[in-house]
Each structure stands twice: as structure tokens, then as C-alpha cells.
A and B are shown apart, each in its own frame.
Chain A
């Protein structure tokens, strides 16, 4: 069950991985343990640093959504979007109708112009 698996690029061995994880885990915990431990719990030292401000309970209260940058763009094109949205009513018959109409217009242009 736990035999080496040759992949063509090397081998995959569960014991090698366990040894690797044990060594990596030891060093990770050792590094973590050597950090500062003298901060005072329950004081400001224990809180998130938020540029000196109170940490908001809900990030949405203070965040500015990315689409705010496009406010003017969206406002300018609103009539166009409204017009285009009317075509998208979800009825397949309508979509096929638009397709046939479009092909007819193109064909007319190609044949007669």
C-alpha cells in the first residue's frame, strides 16, 4: 500500500513526505515560538493596526467599491444600456428573430450594395 510510486520524474513516497512535513513543521513552530510574546493581551497591543483608527466591525461600511471609479462612464451610457437591455428578454424566439433579421439586413447589403 505504501510503496514508492515512480512517476518518470522521480518517485513519490509517503514516508519521505512525512519526514519532510515533520522537519518543516518543526522549523515553522520554532520560528513562530521565537516571536514577541510580551504583548499585553486585552489591550490595544492585541488589536489589529488600522492606521490608528477604530477597526470597523463591517469592512463594507468604509470600503469604496471598485465600480465607483466608473460612475461617470456608467451614467453616460445608461440610456444605451437601457435600450440594449430591452432586447434581452430571455425569449429564444425573440433572439432567433433578431438573428434572422440581422442576416436579412446583411444579405440585402451584400447583394444590392
Chain B
């Protein structure tokens, strides 16, 4: 994190989000776009989609994970800097929904990545996605504090 962040009590930056469609029908992606549209306008809260996981704090995943996307999804997650949270949008990503046990799926997203926020719906309404984002803020704040504590311990251990 940035040097300045260490001295701030609250989450020092807005959520930047990277979207990965791991096998969705695109319905959830359309709702995410609606969340960005002027009617719901999530950018007023600072949240925005970014083009690379290296700039992202949150990974939005839509759809169940297909065998083809498993490795790519894992790599995308690994490329995100800490602290990071994973947010699953839609029933398919949360539970597999009607595609559960399909031959070409690895399964719901939590079979592949540690998921922090589940947003159900087929597709979920933009209000639900915004509520999920609010929960993601709390999660990432917890993780940031844990990370800072861990770093402080490391520094202390180094000094001793």
C-alpha cells in the first residue's frame, strides 16, 4: 500500500474493482454495468472498474467457474495486491445454481478462490450489488488492519 496509508485510521482509498466473467451468461455483467450507470452511479462512492487486477482491491466474479477459466481466475486473483477481497455476483457464482454438477464446471467460485462477499440473485439488482460493495469495504478494512498489524510485528521482530 502507499506510504501515506499507514498513517490513516480509515480505508484510505475508494474501492477499485476488477471484473472477471468466469462463465456467466452476461446477465450479472449487465447488472454491474447498470450499477455504474447514472441511475445507480456507484462512482459517486468512488468505486470504479479498472482494466487490470494489479490496480484492483476487489475482484468481482460472475458465473460459475468453467474448467477453461479456472487457471486464469486463479492467476488474476494472484496478481492483485494485498489486501484484497473477492465478491461473487449472482447465483451461478455463489452456488452453481442450475449449472451445479455440470460436466464442464469446476463449481461455484468458492471452490477456486476464498470468497468474502456473496451477492445472490439471477441476476442480482444493482441495489444488492451496492450493498455487497458496502460489505466488501468492511471486509477489506479488516484485512488491511490485519496486514498492518502483521507488518508491525515483522518490523518489531526485526528490531529485536
Which A positions have Cβ atoms within 8 angstroms of B?
Answer: 34-39, 43-45, 47, 49, 51-53
Contacts and interface: CB of A to CB of B under 8 A. Distances in A.
B2 A35 contact: yes
Contact of A34 (B2, B75, B76): B2
Interface of B: 1-4, 20, 52-54, 69, 71-73, 75-76, 78-82
Contact of B20 (A34, A36, A44, A52): A52
Contact of A45 (B1, B2, B3, B54): B54
A51 B80 contact: no
Contacts of A37: 2-3
B82 A53 contact: no
Nearest to B74: A52
Contacts of A36: 1-2, 81
Nearest to A53: B72
A47 B54 CA distance: 9
Ranked 10 nearest A-B pairs via Cβ? A52-B72, A44-B78, A49-B52, A52-B76, A44-B79, A52-B75, A39-B81, A38-B1, A45-B79, A49-B54
A94 B75 CA distance: 62
Contacts of A52: 20, 69, 71-73, 75-76
19 contacts: A34-B2, A34-B3, A34-B4, A35-B2, A36-B2, A38-B1, A38-B81, A38-B82, A44-B75, A45-B54, A45-B78, A45-B79, A49-B52, A49-B53, A49-B54, A51-B72, A52-B71, A52-B72, A53-B75
Contacts of B76: 49, 52
A33 to B, nearest CB: 8
A34 to B, nearest CB: 6
A25 B4 CA distance: 21
A35 B13 CA distance: 13
A38 B82 CA distance: 8
Nearest to A33: B3
